[in-house]
């Protein structure tokens, strides 16, 4: 079987070699990259622009952005038919290709986030390393942690006030550089699609901007949801422990989800949501109005085949509903979380409606293709690029976040910033 044949159903006339070549994994790629960029932008709002209300969520979103970062590459690797050669994109880039810039952009961004994290957590690393060093007898786990923390200090043990002040400056600087780089990272993902001239739906100069705005939207939304979920989970666990053992001392880090912080975050969310929505609308209106050759088939795709996916799932549930929910007076955390979940779903549908819908019409403009995501894997291809691959991509950032949180605790330890 040819790659893609198993999940493609063809209608009317399509070129014999046409299949849905970019399936769910490539839907996840811009989605995850968007979350990375968005989460980082949110954390930068505090570090660069000093939005004080975002202090708690800023640290959280920075670590989460770092946990999402390696996962952005995952769907790409799952998608490649020769995954072991994937590294060649970094080693032998062919720079006329938009994808070739991936290595440069991605690693630059990765380094910025990693260094920013290092400066944010340096004090913690040093304290932990010294604390474990002072211990007379270390258990096996403590030994490992000691090793990790000692390595993470990179030999810089100076945590005097002067040194920490310098750290803070470095964080501000890195966050400031990080914003354009994060925007570039995701705008560039939009460019990968927008520059495919052979695809009538993708080819528009608006694509990078649309991708960027929806990226920020999804990143902020994910931070709101995950932050609220993690805080509630911690509270719940603490309450249960307290119930079993009433003598447990009060933990100052256990507090309800900060509504002020959530409300401030939501303000930025709404602003970017409006921008993303307006740009998408502009793109569609422009296509309808100019009605070039490709519009005949795009019209069928958007208004007939994918009517529900575009107008109900993406615009309805993903944009308009959360917009109303967020604008109604007396915003509660629960409502913000519900609205943010809708937005996350909406942005996912937007990615789907770009990546998949862009491949559901033949470039002969005379036929259609339908994508059926493989659920049960029957071979390696359907395992990597089906439901199993999708679940792996969704679950991995949370596992990574759990691990990172062990070394760089998001809650508790008040840091120098």
Partner 1 sequence: MINRREFCKKAMVMAGGIALPLSAFQLFDPKSLHAEKNDGNSTRWIFLVDTHKCVGCGFCVKACKSENEVPFETNASRTWVERYVVTLDGHTYIDSPKEARNGFTSTKIDQQHHGLKDVKNEDIAKGFFVPKLCNQCDKPSCVQVCPVGATFRTNDGVVLIDRKWCIGCGYCVQNCPYGARFFHPVHHVAEKCNFCYHRITKGLKTACVDACPFGARKIGNLKDLSDPVTKVIMNDRVGVLKEEYGNKPQVFYLGLSKEVR
Among 49, 50, 52, 86, binds partner 1 (CB under 8 A): 86
Cα angle: 187, vertex 188, 191; to 5 degrees: 95
Of positions 41, 67, 74, 89, contacts partner 1 by CB under 8 A: 89
Closest CA to 37 of 64, 76, 74, 5: 64
Binding segment toward partner 1, per CB under 8 A, in 7-15, 119-127, 330-338, 388-396: 7-15
CB of 43 to partner 1, least distance (A): 30
- 47, 79, 123, 384: residue in contact with partner 1 (rule CB under 8 A): 79
Stretch that binds partner 1, among 36-44, 75-83, 384-392, 396-404 (CB under 8 A): 75-83
Q: How far is the CB of 359 from partner 1 (least distance, A)?
A: 8
**Contact status: 85 vs partner 1 (CB under 8 A):** yes
Which pair of structure tokens corresponds to residue 351?
């990615």
| Distance in Å, CB of 89 to partner 1, minimum | 5
Site string for partner 1, 195-214 (x = CB under 8 A): xxxxx---------------
User: CB-wise, 177 or 196, nearer to partner 1?
Assistant: 196
Instruction: Write down the least CB distance from residue 293 to partner 1, Å.
Output: 8
Residue listed under structure tokens 């679950």: 395
Nearer to partner 1, 97 or 332 (CB): 97
304 binds partner 1, rule: CB under 8 A? no
Least distance CB 14 / partner 1 (angstroms): 7
User: Which part of the chain contacts partner 1 (CB under 8 A), choosing from 90-98, 133-141, 172-180, 382-390?
Assistant: 90-98
What is the smallest separation between the CB atom of 94 and partner 1, expressed in angstroms? 4
Half-sphere exposure of 30 (CA within 13 A, CB side): 35
- Tell whether residue 160 is a contact of partner 1 (CB under 8 A): no
Residue 239 near partner 1 by CB under 8 A: no
Q: Confirm or reject binding of residue 97 to partner 1 (CB under 8 A).
A: yes
Q: Residues touching partner 1: how many (CB under 8 A)?
A: 50
SS3 per-residue string spanning the chain: CCCCHHHEEEEECCCCCCCCCCCHHHHHHHHHHHHHHHHHHHHHHHHCCCCHHHHHHHHHHHHHHHHHHHHHHHHHHHHCCCHHHCCHHHHCCCCCCCHHHHHHHHHHHHHHHHHHHHHHHHHHHHHHHHHHHHCCCCCHHHHHHHHHHHHHHCCCCCCCHHHHHHHHHHHHHHHHHHHHHHHHHHHHHHHHHHCCCCCCCCCCCCHHHHHHHHHHHHHHHHHHHHHHHHHHHHHHHHHHHHHHCCCCCCCCCCCCCCHHHHHHHHHHHHHHHHHHHHHHHHHHHHHHHHCCCCHHHHHHHHHHHCHHHHHHHHHHHHHHHHHHHHHCCCCCHHHHHHHHHHHHHHHHHHHHHHHCHHHCECCCCCEEEEECCCCCCCCHHHHHCCHHHHHHHHHHHHHHHHHHHHHCCCCCCCCCC
- Neighbouring CB atoms inside 10 A of 263's CB total 15
Name which of 414, 406, 401 is nearest 227 in CA terms: 401
Query: By C-beta, is 119 or 184 nearer to partner 1?
Result: 184
Using the minimum distance from each CB to partner 1, give the nearer residue, 75 or 346.
Answer: 75
Is residue 365 a contact residue for partner 1 (CB under 8 A)?
yes
Interface residue with partner 1 among 53, 73, 93, 164 (CB under 8 A) is 93
**Residue 10 beta carbon to partner 1: minimum distance, rounded to whole angstroms:** 4
Distance CA 33, CA 12 (A): 35
Q: How far is the CB of 288 from partner 1 (least distance, A)?
A: 21
Residues in 167-196 at the binding interface with partner 1, rule: CB under 8 A: 192, 195-196
Torsion of CA 124, 248, 229, 128, to 10 degrees: 10
Residue of 16, 155, 329, 330 that binds partner 1 (CB under 8 A): 16
Residue window 342-361: x/- pattern of binding to partner 1, with contact defined by CB under 8 A: -----------------x--
Sketch the per residue contact string, 98 through 117, with partner 1: x for CB under 8 A, - otherwise. Answer: xxx-x---------------
Closest CA to 395 of 405, 383, 387, 407: 387
Q: Which position among 22, 145, 277, 401 is part of the footprint of partner 1 (CB under 8 A)?
A: 22
> Min. distance of Cβ 11 from partner 1 in angstroms?
5
Give contact residues for partner 1 (rule: CB under 8 A). 1-5, 9-19, 21-22, 76, 79-82, 85-86, 88-89, 92-94, 96-100, 102, 192, 195-199, 359, 362-367, 370
């Amino acid at each position: 079987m040819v790659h893609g044949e198993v999940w493609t159903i063809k209608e009317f006339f399509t070129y014999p070699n046409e299949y849905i070549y970019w399936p769910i994994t490539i839907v996840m790629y811009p989605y995850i990259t968007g979350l990375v960029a968005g989460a980082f932008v949110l954390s930068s709002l505090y570090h660069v622009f000093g939005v004080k209300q975002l202090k708690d969520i800023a640290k959280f979103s920075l670590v989460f952005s770092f946990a999402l970062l390696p996962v952005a590459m995952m769907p790409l690797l799952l998608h490649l038919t020769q995954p072991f050669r994937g590294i060649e994109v970094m080693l032998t880039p062919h720079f006329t290709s938009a994808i070739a810039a991936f290595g440069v952009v991605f690693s630059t961004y990765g380094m910025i986030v990693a260094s920013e994290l290092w400066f944010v957590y340096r004090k913690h690393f040093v304290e932990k390393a010294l604390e474990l060093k002072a211990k007379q007898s270390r258990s096996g786990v403590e030994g490992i942690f000691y090793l990790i923390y000692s390595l993470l200090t990179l030999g810089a043990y100076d945590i005097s006030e002067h040194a920490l002040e310098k750290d803070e400056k470095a964080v501000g600087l890195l966050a400031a550089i990080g914003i354009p780089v994060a925007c570039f990272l995701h705008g560039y993902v939009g460019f990968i699609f927008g520059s495919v001239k052979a695809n009538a739906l993708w080819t528009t100069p608006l694509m990078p901007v649309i991708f960027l705005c929806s990226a920020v939207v999804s990143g902020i939304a994910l931070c709101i949801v995950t932050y609220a979920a993690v805080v509630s989970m911690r509270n719940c666990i603490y309450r249960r422990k307290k119930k079993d053992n009433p003598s447990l001392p009060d933990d100052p880090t256990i507090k309800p989800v900060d509504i002020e912080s959530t409300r401030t975050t939501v303000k930025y969310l709404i602003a970017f949501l409006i921008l993303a929505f307006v740009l998408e609308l502009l793109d569609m209106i422009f296509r309808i109005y100019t009605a070039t050759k490709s519009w005949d088939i795009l019209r069928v795709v958007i208004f007939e085949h994918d009517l529900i996916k575009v107008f109900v799932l993406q615009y309805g549930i993903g944009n308009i509903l959360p917009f109303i929910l967020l604008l109604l007076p007396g915003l509660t955390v629960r409502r913000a979380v519900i609205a943010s979940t809708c937005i996350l779903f909406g942005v996912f549908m937007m990615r789907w409606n770009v990546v998949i819908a862009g491949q559901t019409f033949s470039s002969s403009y005379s036929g259609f293709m339908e994508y059926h995501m493989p659920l049960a894997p029957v071979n390696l291809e359907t395992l990597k690029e089906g439901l199993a691959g999708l679940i792996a991509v969704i679950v991995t950032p949370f596992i990574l976040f759990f691990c990172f949180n062990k070394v760089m605790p998001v809650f508790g330890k008040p840091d120098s910033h």
